[in-house]
Amino acid sequence: MRQWGLVLAAAGLLAITMGGRQTLGLFVSPINTSTGLGITTISFAMAVAQFVWGAIQPVAGAVADRYGPGRALAAGILLMAAGAALTPMMDSSIGMVFSIGFLMAAGSGAGSFSVLIGAASQRLPTHRRGMASGVINAGGSFGQFVFAPLMQKLIGVFGWMGAMYSLAVITLAALPMARLLRGRPAPVASVSATEAPPLERGMRATLSDAFRDRSYLLVHAGFFTCGFHIAFLVTHLPGEVDLCGLPAQVASWSLAIIGLANIAGSLYAGWCVQHYRSKYILFWMYASRAALVALYLVAPKTEMTFYIFAAGLGFTWLATVPPTAGVVGKLFGTRYLATLFGMTLLSHQVGGFLGAWLGGIAITETGDYQWMWYADIALAALAAVANLPIREPRIEPRPQPA
């Protein structure tokens, strides 16, 4: 019971860090109107944030693997709150890159998937890790569901500056949850023959082995596309809604629907990881995204279209995390999972940097996002195919009690 209490605490913490991060796209237009910095400049700050969020993951993961996750999580919460509090004081491109691109991104990254899923995996037996990853992931999606309409309402009532100050205060509320994940856990026995051998080789040797492994590199390739897709949408969906002549509330509710749908998707993905090979789960997720974007492009641009599109995408939105972490854990074990999955998330956010930044360039240079949608379809199709050759053990049935 204590183990699942820690999982729920991790889910609650991720709800705050991901909820705040995934709704920053709602601030793009208000910040531009207030400061006159331009959509491309603000998009670049958001793009830097995507990259930094990924770059901090292996660093935070290494700190958590060596000293326990509590310190990494507490530092991340304080950095994210500081970034949100300082953003209203910034009126230059450098200032926005510093507050949003570095402080907020580094903080939310340190309090994100690599540290939280790594901590849970080290505290749970093998057959429970998939579902635990799904529950933690669902916490992040619940945060997006809550924060999207909340931030839109706060922007409407207090302006974007007041909403940023509010976000800083809300972020600090996650500190007590970080305390529950202090310290290094005792090793948990595996019940599956698919678990990597528990040979202790050290972090450097494990990383060296990983980057010589073709399957690990293919996981990175697929997750790169996931980052491109998600960052483009969270940053530029409000702009796409505006281009279609629809009110801003359609964007905030679309983001909320994505989060709500991904709660179900994350829990389902966690269940699937325990019953099916993760590479096949990832294949169908990426293939479905390519199909959904293609259908969106030919559909009439109404409020209902956006809501249906959001629900469809939301089901796989961040549900890619449990099977991706599952593959990494099967390949290399859980001792350095926070670090190894952190490196995978870095690839995710390189894609995220390009998705956010190129979206800003596209709207500035062409006046719409058409070519970005085409790129999204092509990358999703390639990601689906890239997952099929991954070397992954078959799922073995759990031993039944006598």
Alpha helices in 23-100 (DSSP H): 28-35, 39-67, 69-86, 93-96
Backbone angles phi, psi at 34, to 5 degrees: -75, -40
d(CA 252, CA 153): 9
Is the pLDDT reported for residue 51 higher than 80?
yes
What is the C-alpha to C-alpha distance for residues 10 and 383, in angstroms, rounded to an integer? 29
Q: Name the pLDDT band for 194 (thresholds 50, 70, 90).
A: very low
pLDDT score at 141: 79
Note the pLDDT of residue 224: 93
- CATH class label, 205-388: mainly alpha
Answer for the pair 373, 293: CB distance below 8 angstroms, yes or no.
yes
Give the pLDDT confidence score for residue 183 in this predicted structure: 55
Query: Model confidence at 401, in pLDDT bands (50, 70, 90)?
Result: very low
Q: How confident is the model at residue 2 (pLDDT cuts 50, 70, 90)?
A: low
More confident position, 259 or 365? 365
Q: What does each C-alpha distance from 206 to 64, 66, 211 come to in angstroms?
A: 16, 14, 9
On the question of pLDDT at 347 being above 60, the answer is yes
Q: Is the pLDDT of residue 210 over 80?
A: yes
- Which pLDDT score is estimated for 180? 74
pLDDT (mean) for 94-119 = 86
User: Which pLDDT score is estimated for 369?
Assistant: 92
pLDDT band of residue 23 (cuts 50, 70, 90) is confident
Instruction: Give residue 192's pLDDT band: very low, low, confident or very high (50, 70, 90).
Output: very low
DSSP 150-208: HHHHHHHHHHHHHHHHHHHHHHHTTHHHHHTT-SPPPP-----TTSPP-----HHHHHH
Greatest mean pLDDT range, 137-146, 203-212, 289-298: 289-298
Nearest CA among 183, 175, 158 for reference residue 76: 175
Q: What are phi and psi of 173, to 5 degrees?
A: -65, -15
Top-confidence residue, 139 or 171: 171
Would residue 202 be called left, alpha or beta, if left means φ above 0 and alpha means ψ between -120 and 50 degrees? Answer: left
CATH number for the domain whose boundaries are 1-181: 1.20.1250.20
Average pLDDT of the residues in 244-270:
86
Predicted local confidence at residue 310, as pLDDT? 92
pLDDT at 394 over 80: no
The fraction of the chain above a pLDDT of 90, given in percent, is 30
- Rounded to whole angstroms, the Cα distance separating 20 from 146 reads 10
Q: What is the mean pLDDT of residues 18-44?
A: 86
The answer to which of 145-159, 177-191, 302-316, 341-355 has the lowest mean pLDDT is 177-191
Interval 355-384 mean pLDDT = 91
Higher pLDDT, 50 or 245: 245
**pLDDT surpasses 50 at 196:** no
Query: Which pLDDT score is estimated for 135?
Result: 81
Determine whether 285 is exposed, middle or buried from the number of CB atoms within 10 Å of its CB (0-12, 13-18, 19+): buried
Higher pLDDT among residues 158 and 176, named by residue: 158
- What pLDDT shows up at residue 291? 95
pLDDT (tens digit per residue) in 368-378: 899 999 999 99
Q: What is the mean pLDDT of the chain?
A: 84
Residue 3: the pLDDT is 66
Phi, psi of 320 (to 5 degrees): -70, -20
Are domains 1-181 and 205-388 of this chain identical in fold?
Answer: yes
Domain residue ranges in the chain? 1-181, 205-388
Q: For residue 180, which phi and psi values (nearest 5 degrees)?
A: -70, -15
The whole-angstrom separation of Cα 295 and Cα 287 is 13
CB atoms inside a 10 Å sphere around CB 271? 14
pLDDT at 201: 61
